[in-house]
Amino acid sequence: MRQLFAEEKLKPLLIKLAMPLFGELENTLVMKPLLSLKNIMFKPSQYYIMRLDNLENLKALPTVTDYHVRTYRSGDERAWVQLIKRSFGQYFPDKVAEICRNKEFDPNGCFFLKHDHEFVGTVYAMQTQFQGVKTGCIHRLCVVPEHRGKRLGHFLALYALNYFRKTGLQSAMLDVNENNDAAIKTYASLGFKPI
Ligand SMILES: CC(C)(COP(=O)(O)OP(=O)(O)OC[C@H]1O[C@@H](n2cnc3c(N)ncnc32)[C@H](O)[C@@H]1OP(=O)(O)O)[C@@H](O)C(=O)NCCC(=O)NCCS
Angle, helices 152-166 vs 181-189, to 10°: value is 50
The whole-number pLDDT of residue 1 equals 41
Closest CA to 159 of 59, 52, 53, 48: 59
Do 172 and 135 meet the contact criterion of CB atoms below 8 Å apart?
yes
Atom 27 in ligand 1: residue holding the nearest Cα: 182
Tens place of pLDDT for every residue, the chain, 195 residues?
Answer: 444 445 555 555 555 555 555 555 555 666 666 666 666 666 678 999 999 999 999 999 999 999 999 999 999 999 999 999 999 998 888 789 999 999 999 999 999 999 999 999 999 999 999 999 999 999 999 999 999 999 999 999 999 999 999 999 999 999 999 999 999 999 999 999 999
142 alpha carbon to ligand 1 midpoint, in Å? 9
The verdict on the CB of residue 142 being under 6 Å from ligand 1 is yes
Q: What is the DSSP letter of 109?
A: G
Is 24 a pocket residue for ligand 1 (Cβ < 6 Å)?
no
69: exposed, middle or buried (C-beta count within 10 Å: 0-12, 13-18, 19+)? middle
CA dihedral 133, 192, 45, 126 (to 10 degrees): 50
Runs of H (alpha helix) within 119-195: 152-166, 181-189
Q: Is 152 in the pocket of ligand 1 (CB under 6 A)?
A: yes
> What pLDDT score does 3 carry?
47
Cβ–Cβ < 8 Å for 55, 165? yes
Q: Of the candidates 190, 191, 192, 194, which has an alpha carbon nearest to the alpha carbon of residue 61?
A: 190
> Is any ligand 1 atom within 6 A of the Cβ of residue 185?
yes
Q: What is the pTM of this model?
A: 0.82
Handedness of CA 25, 30, 34, 36 (dihedral sign): positive
State in Å: Cα 145 to ligand 1 middle.
10
Q: Please name which of 126, 122, 73 lies closest in space to residue 99, comparing C-alpha atoms.
A: 126
What is the per-residue pLDDT for 127? 96
Q: Which are the contacts of 127, defined by CB distance < 8 A and separation ≥ 6?
A: 104, 106, 109, 134, 135, 136, 137, 167, 169
Find the 15 Cα to ligand 1 centroid distance in Å.
Answer: 32
Q: What's the pLDDT at 2?
A: 47
Q: Whose CA is nearest to atom 15 of ligand 1?
A: 186
